[in-house]
Each structure stands twice: as C-alpha cells, then as structure tokens.
Amino acid sequence: MSKSLARSLVCAIILVTATFGARAELRLADPLPVSPQVTVGKLPNGLTYYLRKNTRPQNKLELRLVVKAGSILEDDDQQGFAHFLEHMAFNGTSNFKKQELVSYLESIGVRFGADLNAYTSFDETVYILPIPTTRRSNVEQGFRVLRDWAGGITLNAADIDQERPVLLEELRLGKGARDRMDTELLPKMFNGSRYAQRLPIGQEAIIRKGSHEALRRFYRDWYRPDLMAVIVVGDIDTADAERLVKRHFSDLKNPAQPRKRFEAPIAPSEGTQALVITDKEAGGNQILIRYPVRPVKESDTVGGYREDLVQSLFTTMLNQRMLALSQRADAPFLDASSAVSRLTARYEAYTASASLGKGGARPAIDALVHEHARASKFGFTAAELERTKKNLLRRFERGYAERDKTDSAALVGEFVRNFLNQESIPGIENEYRYARELVPGITLEEMNRYARDTIPTDSPKLVVYMGTDNERSMVPTSAQLLAAFASAEKAEVKPRSERALAASLMPVPPKAGSIVAESFDKRLGVTTLSLSNGVKVMLKPTDFRNDQVIIGATRFGGQSLAADQDIINARYAASVAGVMGVGDFTPLDLSDMLAGKTATVSASLSNYTESVRGASGSADIEAMLQLLYLKMTTVRRDPLLFQTFVARQVEASRNTMAQPEAVFEDAQVSILYANHPRVPRVPRPEEFEKIDMERALAFYQERFGSARGMTFLMVGSFAVDSVKPLIATYLASLPTDPITRGYRDLGANPIKGVVKHEVRAGSEDKSVVSINFTGDAVYSEQEQMRMNAMLDVMNMRIVDVLREKLALIYGGGMNGAIGRIPTPHYRIGVNLPTSPASVDKVIAATFAEIERMKTQGPSAANLDKVKQNWLANHRNALRENGYWMSRLQSAVLLGTDPASMLSYEARVKALTVDDLKLAARRYFDMRNYVQVVLYPEKK
C-alpha cells in the first residue's frame, strides 16, 4: 500500500471513529431519525414530498410520482383500470396531446421504456421520469409532466378506445403456464382475500368494453394529493426543488367527499392445506410452503432496526445451509430458500420453497422440514454467526464508502417504500453506525432463540406442489403432500457439524516475477506494465467508485479450438471447472473463507474467445488476485460436485424445453444456422449426460493454464504504486507456456436466401414474429454507430406505428450488431409478439417501415432524439468502471485505438439522415432473411 493511500485511510478511520464516538450512546427505544440528507415535507392539501440533492450522475434528475392507489381499490366494473389509467397518462394530458409527451421527452434524451416508465401493483402506481438538467426548461417541463399525471390526464374517449388493443396485447403477452397456475395458486396464497380477485392486469372483458366513466371515476376517486408523493432526487438544490413542488402541486384539491382509502385484509389460515397445480408447459417443478399470514410491523425504533439485523443474519445463515444441501451429490433439490417474505404491502408470512430435482417432492420436503427443525432445535454455530456478521458488516461498510457515489436512481426506491410502507429512511450514515454498534452485540444465544421463535414448525401451513404433468413427473396428490410433511416432522435430526477451514487461500504466495517496463498514456490515464513472464497489465485508477476494483483479460481461442467430437466438453469446460472451486477449496469453502471480504473471479469460454474476470473491494484486491492465480494454475476435481452439476443441468433443461418460448428459440437457431453442430441451441438433457469430466477439465486447463498473450486490465479505486507488488506476485508469476492462440473459423454461417417457417408450440392464443437479416459487412466503429442509430429510429417507428397507431403489439423491437469474428458480418433481429390473427399485419407493417427507412430515411427530429439519448448515456458511462473496462478490453482484443471513446461525441454529432438511410439499404436485404413465426399448437 502506498504511503499516501495508507495515510488517507488512517485519517478516514480516525474521522469516522471521532464522529461516531462523539454521538450519544444508542438507545433501543429511540425512534429512527430521517436522514439529514433528505427533506420530507407535506403540502396543505396532503401531498407528501421527498427531496435530496445528489450529483451522481451529474446533470440528471430522478422524478417520481407515487400514488397510493392500485388494483386493490378497483370497483367490480373497474378491474384492470388502475393499470389502464397508467397507460393513459402517456396518451394525453393538460399540457401534452396524445404522443406529444413521449415525443418531447425523447427529444431531450429520455427513452420511452428504457428511462421513462411506470408500473401498477396491488396497492400503488408509480411513475418514473428521469430528466437531464443541462437546461432549466427541461426541469420545468419535468415538473409539469408530473403535475399533469397527478391531475391533468385528459382521458379522451377516443384515446381510451385506441389504447384498449394495446392493453389486450399486454394481457396476451402475460398468458402462459405461469398465469394459468397463478389463477389456482393466488386465491389460496391470499386466503381468499380481495388480492386474488384484483390482479393488476385486470379482466379482459372490462379492458375491452369497460365504460369510459368507470375509468374516469377511478382517476377522480384515487388520484388525489392526500394519496400522493412527489420524489425529487438528483442534481438540483433542495430549496429549488421545494419551490418547484409547491408551485406545481399546491393547487391540487382533494374531493369534497373523498372515498376512504381502505386496506384489503387477509384472514388467518383455516388449518393446514395442500394444493397440487400442474401444467404441461410449466418451466419446472416446485414445492412452496406458506406459513400463517400476519400483518407487517415496520421498524420505527433503533430496537426495531436491531431486530431487522437479527432477521437478516438468521435468513442468511439458514439459506447458506440450503445452498450446502443443493451442492451434495444426492442433493434433495436444485435450490431452496426460506425467509419471512412480504405477500403484500401490509402482510407477510414465513415461506419456504424448493426447485425440485429428479427425486421429486419427497426428498425436498424432508430436507426443508429437517433443516428447519435442526435450526429450531439446535440453532446455529458460533463460526456460522461470525462469518455472517463479517459479511453483513462488509455490506454496510461498502454502502457507507460509496455514499457519495450512489446513483440517484438507486436512492429513490427507499423514499417510495417510506411513503407506501412506512419503511424507515435513517440514511446510510446512521445505518452504518447502527450496524457497527449493534451487530457485534448480537449473541449466538439470541440468534438461536430467534430461530426457535421464528420457524413456525407447528403452525398451520399451505403446502403447494407446482410443476409439469408429463410422463416424467412424479406428481403427488394433496394427501401424499400432507403425509410427506407429517412423516418428515416426526424424524429425529442431529446438530450440524462445522467444517474445518484453512487459515488462508494461499499460505505461501507464488514466487514473484517482476515488472520489466512501464509506460503511461496521458490521454486515457492508463499505466501499462510489461511483466517478466511476457504478460501485460493496463491500470486505470479512477474515482468513479470508492470501493470497487474490476480486473479482466480476454484472448482469442475459445471453443473454436476444440475438435468437433469434443465440442460438448469444451462448451461446458468453464462451467464444470467453476462448480469445482479452486485449489483445495469447494465453492462453499471459498464462500466461508472469504467472509468479510468482497472478491470474486470467474472464467468463461465462448466460441472464439476465452476470458477471466474478477471484482473486489479496494481492501480485497489481494484476495481477488489470489483467486485469479488459483483459477489459472489449479484444476480441482470433485466427482460428487460434477454429478450434482450434471443432474441440475439435466433437470433444468427438461423444464426449459417444456416451454413454448424455448421451443421457438431453439427452432430459430436451428433454421438460421441449418443445424450447424457448432452453434449452441437450447440445451437438451442428453447434452449434459455426454459431458466427460476429465475431458472438460483438460480443455479448461489447456486454455487457462497459460497466460501467454494475455493483457490484464484493472480499473477502479486503487493506487498504481499500491498494486504493483501484488501484480508482480500474482500476475508476473503466472505460467506462460506455449499455447495455441487465435481462433478457428468454424464455418457456422447463416443460411442464404429468403426462408420462411412456422413453429407450433403452446396452447395460448399467442404468436411471435421473428425476422433475421444477415450478411457480410465491412466493420468500423462509425459503421456500427450508423447501424445502431438506424435501429434505434426503427424502434421508435415500431412503437409509433405498430403499437400506438395500429395497436398490433405491446412490446418488441429490433436489435443488431456488426461482428468481426471470425469474418466481418452483421445480423439484425426483429422480435414482435402479437396475436395469431395479426401476424400478417405485423409483418406487412414492419416491412413497410423498413421500406420507408430505405427510401426516406429517418426524420431529422427522430435522429436528434437518438443523438441526445446517446450523448447523455455516454457522459454517464464515462464515470463507470465497467464502461472503461469494456472499451479498453475491446481495443486490446481487436487491436484498435482505445482512445476512440474520447471522440465518441464528435462521431455521434456527425451522423446524418443519409447515413441511416444508406445503412437501412445496406442491411435490410429483402433477398436474404429468415422469417420464423410462432403459432399455438393446433387443437
């Protein structure tokens, strides 16, 4: 560690200690304060507001309108209208006619769907509006938009009727096995309460023909200031934000005789019940146990906050035990979890669930019941508690360290929850203090008492089996479910034994190499080190985050270098090695040994490249580099973990192929690449059964056992001088034996010509149109930019025409890229869910918009919208470690100039209407595309 960095850390620790030490001793009865960084106020009309200045990212403001009204408040003739009203907020208001609102916001760089959005739930509706603050007029208009949503939605009859088909398409999109199973599940989960009768998507008949007046009545009754909150977080002075709130929202009035905002009660359970729900398209088999429902009690005192910390420790330790069970060779389930979970804003229940493996429900039930009984009867171990405390405190430490580097969008959520659920908002400074002072005092005896009191072993419960009903499934009856639980509850359990752990990942570090050369790029602020083993390291220290470091290296090679007969082993080599752990340590060993640290490393093999990636906190860089060294120099063999991996993947792939979406995806790949054996499709069970552990690990070792030709990039909160000794120790010592480098062209090219195909899968009245344009290309960054801009404008047109004007779709769009490997090529994919009856109209409308782009190009206004959004996103991205890692790594791999990112803005501004028109002509080749359409199975 450099002396300057060490001095800074010491000063910070002294300052924190002095600050906390000066405060009064915590008293559990004291109420939790509101963070001093947030201003909470209430207008005379009852509207609540939350204001916080936050300058990350700069020149951006996050606005929210939160309405404490959702589908639970709908009258019988309004089912679906809470959600319908959310749609109408974008279809005409006092200051913006239909489509003007979205058009205006896009003109200042706010993307519809990606940035501008909203959601409706049982108890609330939330509108999401990010606004750039580079112009004062943007801020003023942003508040005007929020005010219009609060009290100025016009609800024109023609606009309402025009939006109905869009909502019906959204309803259609949600249809499937999950929806059908929920129809049976939710009345039981909610104990027959109103929640089961008021799903936010609503009733099709009401969406289709419900009266205009019923929709307007919902708006009058429930969109009122005493049920609203305005949240303003971002790059704006708090006093200015408060003035804007008062100016725009003070004139809102509550109804003269307001309807009472009621809560929907959930009655207690009536004894233990079992429910079996099956569907041939279910994506997996699951056991769900819901114990008695109870009202939520929000923590409003320091003592309540301490109880939340205890609950967090309990949940983490119990689920770590579930994870350990899932990694056994005879694993009783694929994965499982238990926790106190919210069912609604006001109710919670202790729940447990497990995804079932080939053994079915019985072993999963035994494991869940026995693990609950073990924790209830014997509690946890001192080592478990100590590790979990370390991890919890490390999370708070990182949150505190990043307190001035947290994005505004990440802060608004807690203010939303405070308004809706009365969740406390003491702020990270207070929460860090509470954790530091309270967590050490939580004893093992207290945790074990909490486990006894919390796990409802003798309570009535709802036991649910959900899954497929094909010939492979061992579907139990309701009586068999209850009998299995009764039997499991009678079994004797023994206390858990604690595993012995090594003292460190690497008791003896490797023999260090050396740094033989160093250079500095002033343009990018990047230091490049040449190491004695031939490896290069590029270092980019940043102040974007205070406790984040990422590292990575990518090299050509990958699965392309495997022989055809060994492709299955190569395809899963990195996954097989990953589930084994590293060195002498299983994944669970590593998790336990790294308690209190933030350090991860992973490796991956794609068709043409191989990569290693890592991340850590600033204090944990050495642990990350140790993991990386072990990942590249050791191959751990564990036949039991291999068996578990194969069994898990076999079961998951069986479940996946039951879903029509997976069948459709598989067909698209198969048709586009003419069943080429080297192009991965949706995995089949037999694929995993063919993996040979030794061959897979041998291929992994062959590709990662040598670092020759690798350039590592490290980006984040570190000092160059402080990491040099670590780099010399762990990276300069990596083996660099001769290795085959480069990639092999597999000849996996898309088919030529116009190909049309239909796929029949699924029982719902749903279709998806998929069109893929492919061909050769000449790659350049500017050409990629032209294509991307053209596609962004096309997506605007798809929304404008196919959704808003023709009402043929709810979502969907285009994406594409120009690739350089193995030869320059491009691919544009179109994906548009719709109704079977509308398939031909969707295809015709899409081709019409393509032709319009080829002949007329985009409007200057739409191109400018794309530019504004890109420029805003780029300026934010330049303050993100991940963006720098991605751009630098790409430049190293492809041999391009990494400084090209610095000219990004100039290249964006240079884009013209003709550029996009020419791109459309070049890439939408109507003589060469593959069209695949999903239709439901024939009855």
The predicted-structure confidence for 406-434, as pLDDT tens digits, reads as follows 999 999 999 999 999 999 999 999 999 99
Q: What is the mean pLDDT of residues 758-785?
A: 96
- Cα(90)–Cα(880) distance, integer angstroms: 32
**Which residues have a Cβ under 8 Å from the Cβ of 826 and sit 6 or more positions away?**
773, 774, 775, 776, 777, 787, 816, 817, 818, 819, 923
Tell me, yes or no, whether 83 lies in a domain: yes
> Do 289 and 152 share a structural domain?
no
User: 583 with 539, same domain?
Assistant: yes
240: three-class secondary structure by DSSP: helix
433 and 292 within one domain? yes
Average of per-residue pLDDT across 695-704: 98
φ, ψ dihedrals at 811, nearest 5°: -135, -175
User: Of 714, 730, 746, at which residue does a domain stop?
Assistant: 730
- Which helix (H) or strand (E) element contains residue 873? helix 860-877
DSSP 440: G
Report CA 549 to chain centroid distance, whole Å: 20
C-alpha distances out from residue 620 to 5, 59, 394, 799, Å: 15, 33, 11, 46
Sequence letter at residue 568: I
Q: How far is CA 176 from the centre of its chain?
A: 22
pLDDT of residue 23: 62
Query: Does the pLDDT value for residue 483 go beyond 50?
Result: yes
pLDDT tens profile 356-413: 998 999 999 999 999 999 999 999 999 999 999 999 999 999 999 999 999 999 999 9
* 8 Å CB contact between 809 and 843: no
Specify the length of the chain in residues: 939
- Residue 33 domain flag: no
- pLDDT of residue 16 exceeding 80: no
Instruction: Report the run of H or E that residue 827 belongs to, with start and end.
Output: strand 825-834
Residue 44: inside a domain, yes or no? Answer: yes
Phi, psi of 695 (to 5 degrees): -65, -40
User: CA torsion sign, 11 to 13 to 16 to 21?
Assistant: negative
Q: Are strands 711-716 and 536-541 parallel, antiparallel or unpaired?
A: parallel
Is the same domain home to 244 and 352? no
CB burial readout 786-814, b (16+ within 10 A) else e: bbbbbbbbbbbbbbbbbbbebbbbbebbb
- How many other β-carbons are positioned within 10 Å of the β-carbon of residue 887? 21
Rg of the chain taking only CA atoms, in angstroms:
29
Integer Cα distance of 137 and 134 in angstroms: 9
Residue 553 placed within a domain: yes
Residues 207 and 353 in one domain: no
Quote the tokens at residue 108. Answer: 């200042």
Are 488 and 307 in contact, with CB atoms under 8 Å apart?
Answer: no
Q: Is the pLDDT of residue 13 over 60?
A: no
- In this prediction, residues 330-345 reach a mean pLDDT of 94
Beta carbons within 8 Å of 131's beta carbon, 6+ residues apart: 60, 61, 62, 63, 108, 110, 138, 139, 141, 142, 234
Q: Which amino acid is at 543?
A: D
Residue in 568, 565, 586 with CA at minimum distance from that of residue 577: 586
Residue 703 in domain: yes
607 within domain boundaries = yes
Which one of 188, 214, 249 terminates a domain?
249
Give the number of domains in the chain: 4
Residue 527 belongs to domain with CATH number = 3.30.830.10
Confidence of residue 21 (pLDDT cuts 50, 70, 90): very low
Q: Summarize pLDDT for 103-141 with one digit per residue, the tens.
A: 999 999 999 888 899 999 999 999 999 999 999 999 999
Question: Half-sphere exposure of residue 105, counting CA atoms within 13 Å on the CB side?
Answer: 25
Q: Do 669 and 676 form a contact (C-beta atoms < 8 A)? A: no
* Residues in contact with 420: Cβ distance below 8 Å, sequence separation at least 6, in sequence order: 66, 68, 123, 124, 345
- DSSP-derived 3-state class of residue 352: strand
pLDDT in tens, 66-88: 999 999 999 999 999 999 999 99
Per-residue pLDDT tens over the stretch 613-629: 999 999 999 999 999 99
Residues 699 and 819 reside in one and the same domain: no
CB 232 within 8 A of CB 50: yes
Give φ, ψ of 673 to 5 degrees.
Answer: -110, 20
Tell me the per-residue pLDDT of 217-247, one tens digit each, with 9 for 90 and over. Answer: 999 999 999 999 999 999 999 999 999 999 9
Q: 476 with 329, same domain?
A: yes
Q: Are 33 and 425 in contact (CB under 8 A)?
A: no
Whether 505 is covered by a domain: the verdict is no
In the predicted model, what is the mean pLDDT of residues 468-478? Answer: 81
Per-residue pLDDT at 1 exceeds 70: no
**Highest mean pLDDT of the ranges 102-116, 469-483, 914-928:** 914-928
Question: Are residues 563 and 701 both part of a single domain?
Answer: yes
Spatial strand order of the sheet with 813-819 comes to: 754-760, 929-935, 767-776, 825-834, 813-819
Quick check: is 179 in a domain? Answer: yes
Question: Is the predicted pLDDT of residue 22 greater than 60, yes or no?
Answer: no
Phi, psi (deg, nearest 5) at residue 385: -65, -40
pLDDT tens per residue, range 549-560: 999 999 999 999
Beta bridge partners of 225: none
Mean pLDDT, rounded, for 179-207: 96
> The pTM is what?
0.94
> How many helices and strands (H and E) does the chain possess?
31, 23
**Which structural domain, as residue segments, surrounds residue 803?**
754-935
Alpha-carbon distance of 221 to 921, in angstroms, equals: 52
Q: Note whether 123 and 238 are same-domain residues.
A: yes
Nearest to 235, CA basis, from 868, 902, 872 = 872
Q: 63 and 166 share a domain?
A: yes
- ∠ Cα 724 730 733 (to 5°): 110
Considering the domain architecture, whether residues 670 and 781 belong to the same structural domain is answered as no
Same domain assignment for residues 759 and 878: yes
Distances (CA, A) of 59 to 129, 205, 234: 14, 45, 8
